[in-house]
Every structure is written in structure tokens, then in C-alpha cells.
């Protein structure tokens, strides 16, 4: 029996007595808690909201935020219609502004049970709070004026948060890559020992993939366009009626709305809905980022298995409920899991776009209510996990050295083959001699001589070149827009 398990009979008896007395005291002071659990624990809760995503991303996709944007759009529509000559009073606009944030969701639900229409339920609830403005709320618009324009604003805000977090992670990854650029470690192809690399080179490879993902989100933002004011089937017919057939005013309204939303122009053409192609761009960008995180998570899990890398582990953290000695790579495993979810969501977006009918069908609505928020929430969760992983990752230099020394003789063979060929030998004959010797077991993997320097080629110089060229260029281009927030404020510290 291990020493840390053995105790004297006397000590064990004393501890048992002490524990029994404490338990009796606790039981005498505390009454059984038989109260009904809170309602939130009696209903299904999305784990992305309750466990993984940040409060910042949750707020962006919150029901309140969406409803408030709808009201802001109605106020903006009325304001621009007034500016272009429609008979709308300042007092009506002020009445809407005054109650913009007073959203009674119970009242909205009451209306929706009667109307079975989500947008009109909000129109009626808004009109009850601002009766003076009730006649002109939603004037000339169709539901997609608020739903689709709001989706664009929400998607833009969510993407900007992703980019800020990804930028912060890339800065940390670059510093780690520089620190470990010359730390030689066993390379693996087919997860079999291969020519040495450096830890810094591996981290730089991760960074290169993530920069490409960053650029894809940025490109999506340059193409993103709001719906603007297009009417029931995208022909702007209702607005032509309001402005007595004056298309210049109809166009001016469309453009003014979009400028106010922070865009240079609206989408040129639409049916009733904004093309769901835009969903595809952003969900595919999320999927590509998730694929990078999946690759990173597998790399990390494999290297934790070899003992060369370790993810952070809290002082009171438990690796296994049964095997107390375990230190499992739970963060990396969680990344693998959530990445798989995001990758699959992207296919949903392409199906939704590909099955729309003519000017629109409503079979996208319920689907998008789930898929758009959950894709961004899961992507946000991946960034939260990755940040924790790279901030606290540890390199076990002893294990790394043991691994490289173990296969040192094998690692030297390629260098020897190059020198032999330069000395006049046949590369193919040298290769065959080495192959026969290693396969027959006549060549020991580990050198009997003292430790030698591990040859890692130009790995450290490649890292320097990458950081001084590609990464520096990335920072110069992106720092102004995405390096404003401190990491301590961007990321949550209380994630499970």
C-alpha cells in the first residue's frame, strides 16, 4: 500500500470521530432544502449560453438587443421619410424615441398569440407605448425591413467582436512562437517520429492559418450590405406610392437609411428578403476558423499525450472522478467538440440559401433564429477557450529533450544521406542501406554518445521571417481597428 494511503489506526480513529461530530453539528444546523428549484433549472438551457459563450456575444444576440434595433430602424425610417417630405410630425418621432427601450416582452407575446406574426406583435406593442406615432410606425415597409437589416447589424457587430478576440489571441501566439522558435522537438508525420521541428515553428503554423481566417472575416465585412428599403417583393412599390412615383426620393430614402446604419450603400437588388448568400459567407468564415481550431486542438491533444505540451490546470481542478492522478486536455477536447458543431452549421446556411423560392419563402425563418446565433456563440466560445489555452500552455522541456534524444540516430540519417550524395555517393543506394539497417533493427534509435544538438533545419529562421514579414504586415494593417480593447476585458475569466 502506498505510504500516502497508510495511516496509523489511532490517527484514523481520531479523524473518524472528528468527522462524525462535525457532520452531526452540520445536520443539526441545516434544514433540508426542499424548495422548488428556480424556473431556469426546470427548463432546457442552451449550453452555449449557460456555459461557453461570453456575455458580450450573448448580449449581441439577445432578444432585447434585437427588439431594440427593430425600434431604432422604425425611428430611422420615419425620420428619413419626414426629411423627404412625408407628413410625419417631430412629436411622433420623439414619442418613439422616448419609449424605445421600454420593451414589454410579455405584452409582445400576448399580441403574437393573437396575430401569429412576430413583427406585427412588436409594432402593436410599440404603438401602445407611443400612441401618437402608432399610425406611421412601419410605414411602407415589410417585415424584412427590420428583420434583415437587424440581422446585418448583429452579424457585423458579432464579427467585429470575433476579430478583436482573434487579434488578441494572435498577438499572444506570436510572442509564444518567438519565445520557443529554437526549441527543438520531435516532428511527427503519420504520428510517427520524423525529422525535428521547433515548438515555435508549430505555433507559427497555427498563427498563419488563423491570419487567413481573420482575412476571410474582414473580406466578408467589405461585401456585407444591408437590405435597406425594398418593400414587399423588392420592387419598392409601396415607397413609390408614398412619394407619388418619385423614384429619386425612393432611392434617396434607401441610401439614407443605409448611411445611417454605417454602410456606404444598400444591396443593389433583392426580393422581399436580403439574399441568404450573405449568411453563407459568414457561417463559412466561422467554419473555416473552427477548422483551424480543430486542427490546433488535435495537435495539442497529441502533444499532451506525448508529455511535451500541457494545457493550464487549476490548483483544485479535477481530471477524472475516478482516476485522481489524471490531467486531461479538457480545453483542447472542448475546442474539438465545438469546432465540429460550427463546421456543420455552415452546411445549414448553404442549404437555406439554396432552397429559397422566388422572392422569398418562410422556411428560412425558424432555422436562422437558431443557426445564426448559435454559430457565432460557438465561435466566440472557441476563442474564449483558445485564449485560455495559449495563455496558460506549458512546454515540458525535459520531455521534449528526452523525445528528441531517443530518436537522435534516426534523425541524423537524412543529414548523412545528403553529405554522402555530395561526396559522390548514390542517394538511392544510401537510402536503401539506411532503410535495411533500420528495418532490421541493427541501428539503434538512440545514440550512445553524449547528447548532440538536434538539427532542425531553418525552423528558427523561418519563424523570424514569418514574424518580421507576414505577421508584422498583419499587425500594421489590423492593429488600429482591432487592438483597442485589452485582453483582460475582451475575455471572460469565469468560464467553466
pLDDT in tens, 396-411: 999 999 988 888 877 7
Domain count along the chain: 1
Task: Say if 415 falls within a structural domain.
Answer: no
> Is it the case that residue 226 has pLDDT exceeding 50?
yes
Q: Is 79 a catalytic residue?
A: no
Please indicate whether residue 453 or residue 489 has the higher confidence score (pLDDT): 489
Task: Say if 87 falls within a structural domain.
Answer: yes
- In the chain, the largest separation of any two C-alpha atoms, in whole Å, equals 99
Please indicate whether residue 364 or residue 299 has the higher confidence score (pLDDT): 299
* Residue among 188, 115, 226, 121 at smallest CA distance from 411: 188
Question: Among 320, 361, 426, 481, which one carries the catalytic annotation?
Answer: 320
Task: Say if 158 falls within a structural domain.
Answer: yes
pLDDT recorded at residue 4: 38
pLDDT recorded at residue 31: 60
Full residue range of the structural domain in which residue 324 is found: 63-398+462-490
Q: What is the mean pLDDT of residues 484-491?
A: 71
At 6, the pLDDT band (50, 70, 90 cuts) reads very low
* Nine cell digits for residue 322: 475516478
Q: What is the mean pLDDT of residues 202-213?
A: 97
Q: What is the mean pLDDT of residues 192-201?
A: 92
Task: Say if 23 falls within a structural domain.
Answer: no
pLDDT recorded at residue 1: 46
Task: Say if 214 falls within a structural domain.
Answer: yes
Assign residue 208 the CATH number of its domain: 1.20.200.10
Task: Say if 88 falls within a structural domain.
Answer: yes
Please indicate whether residue 439 or residue 301 has the higher confidence score (pLDDT): 301
The string of pLDDT tens digits covering residues 132-156 is 999 999 999 999 999 999 999 999 9
* Residues facing residue 379 across a β-bridge: none
Task: Say if 5 falls within a structural domain.
Answer: no
Q: Is 116 a catalytic residue?
A: no
Q: How far is Cα of residue 156 from the mean position of the Cα atoms in its chain?
A: 14
CA angle centred on 63, ends 36 and 484, rounded to 5°: 115
Say how far apart CA 343 and CA 284 lie, in whole Å: 8
Q: What is the mean pLDDT of residues 22-36?
A: 59
pLDDT recorded at residue 101: 94
At 414, the pLDDT band (50, 70, 90 cuts) reads confident
pLDDT recorded at residue 8: 47
Question: Among 8, 40, 190, 321, which one carries the catalytic annotation?
Answer: 190
Task: Say if 338 falls within a structural domain.
Answer: yes
pLDDT recorded at residue 485: 59
Dihedral over alpha carbons 274, 277, 279, 281 (to 10 degrees): -140
Amino acid at each position: 500500500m502506498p505510504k500516502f494511503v497508510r495511516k496509523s489506526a489511532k490517527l484514523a480513529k481520531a479523524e473518524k470521530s472528528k468527522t462524525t461530530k462535525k457532520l452531526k453539528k452540520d445536520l443539526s444546523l441545516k434544514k433540508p432544502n426542499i424548495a422548488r428549484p428556480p424556473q431556469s433549472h426546470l427548463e432546457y438551457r442552451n449550453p452555449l449560453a449557460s456555459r461557453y459563450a461570453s456575455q458580450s456575444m450573448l448580449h449581441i444576440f439577445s432578444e432585447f438587443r434585437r427588439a431594440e434595433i427593430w425600434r431604432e430602424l422604425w425611428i430611422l425610417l420615419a425620420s428619413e421619410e419626414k426629411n423627404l417630405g412625408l407628413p410625419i410630425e417631430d412629436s411622433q418621432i420623439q414619442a418613439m424615441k422616448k419609449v424605445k427601450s421600454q420593451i414589454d416582452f410579455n405584452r409582445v407575446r400576448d399580441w403574437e398569440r393573437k396575430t401569429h406574426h412576430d413583427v406585427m406583435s412588436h409594432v402593436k406593442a410599440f404603438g401602445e407605448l407611443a400612441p401618437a406615432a402608432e399610425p406611421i410606425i412601419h410605414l411602407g415597409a415589410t417585415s424584412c425591413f427590420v428583420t434583415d437589416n437587424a440581422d446585418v447589424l448583429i452579424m457585423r457587430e458579432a464579427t467585429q467582436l470575433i476579430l478583436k478576440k482573434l487579434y488578441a489571441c494572435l498577438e499572444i501566439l506570436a510572442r509564444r512562437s518567438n519565445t520557443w522558435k529554437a526549441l527543438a522537438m520531435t516532428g511527427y508525420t503519420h504520428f510517427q517520429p520524423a525529422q525535428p521541428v521547433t515548438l515555435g515553428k508549430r505555433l507559427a503554423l497555427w498563427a498563419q492559418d488563423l491570419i487567413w481566417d481573420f482575412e476571410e472575416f474582414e473580406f466578408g465585412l467589405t461585401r456585407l450590405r444591408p437590405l435597406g428599403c425594398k418593400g414587399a417583393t423588392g420592387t419598392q412599390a409601396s415607397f413609390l406610392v408614398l412619394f407619388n412615383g418619385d423614384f429619386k426620393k425612393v432611392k434617396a430614402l434607401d441610401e439614407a437609411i443605409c448611411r445611417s446604419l454605417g454602410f456606404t450603400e444598400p444591396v443593389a437588388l433583392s426580393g422581399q428578403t436580403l439574399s441568404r448568400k450573405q449568411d453563407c459567407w459568414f457561417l463559412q468564415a466561422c467554419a473555416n476558423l473552427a477548422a483551424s481550431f480543430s486542427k490546433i486542438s488535435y495537435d495539442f491533444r497529441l502533444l499532451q499525450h506525448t508529455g511535451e505540451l500541457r494545457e493550464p490546470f487549476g490548483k483544485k481542478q479535477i481530471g477524472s472522478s475516478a482516476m485522481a492522478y489524471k490531467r486531461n486536455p479538457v480545453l483542447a477536447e472542448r475546442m474539438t467538440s465545438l469546432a465540429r458543431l460550427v463546421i456543420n452549421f455552415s452546411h445549414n446556411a448553404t442549404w437555406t440559401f439554396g432552397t429559397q423560392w422566388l422572392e422569398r419563402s418562410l422556411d428560412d425563418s425558424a432555422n436562422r433564429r437558431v443557426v445564426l446565433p448559435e454559430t457565432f456563440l460557438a465561435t466566440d466560445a472557441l476563442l474564449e477557450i483558445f485564449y485560455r489555452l495559449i495563455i496558460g500552455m506549458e512546454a515540458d522541456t525535459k520531455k521534449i529533450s528526452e523525445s528528441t534524444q531517443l530518436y537522435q540516430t534516426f534523425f541524423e540519417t537524412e543529414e548523412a544521406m545528403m553529405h554522402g550524395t555530395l561526396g559522390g555517393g548514390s542517394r538511392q543506394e544510401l537510402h536503401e542501406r539506411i532503410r535495411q539497417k533500420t528495418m532490421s533493427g541493427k541501428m539503434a534509435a538512440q545514440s550512445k554518445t553524449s547528447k548532440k544538438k538536434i538539427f532542425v533545419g531553418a525552423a528558427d529562421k523561418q519563424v523570424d521571417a514569418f514574424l518580421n514579414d507576414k505577421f508584422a504586415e498583419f499587425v500594421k494593417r489590423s492593429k488600429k481597428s482591432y487592438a483597442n480593447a485589452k485582453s483582460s476585458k475582451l475575455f471572460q475569466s469565469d468560464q467553466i
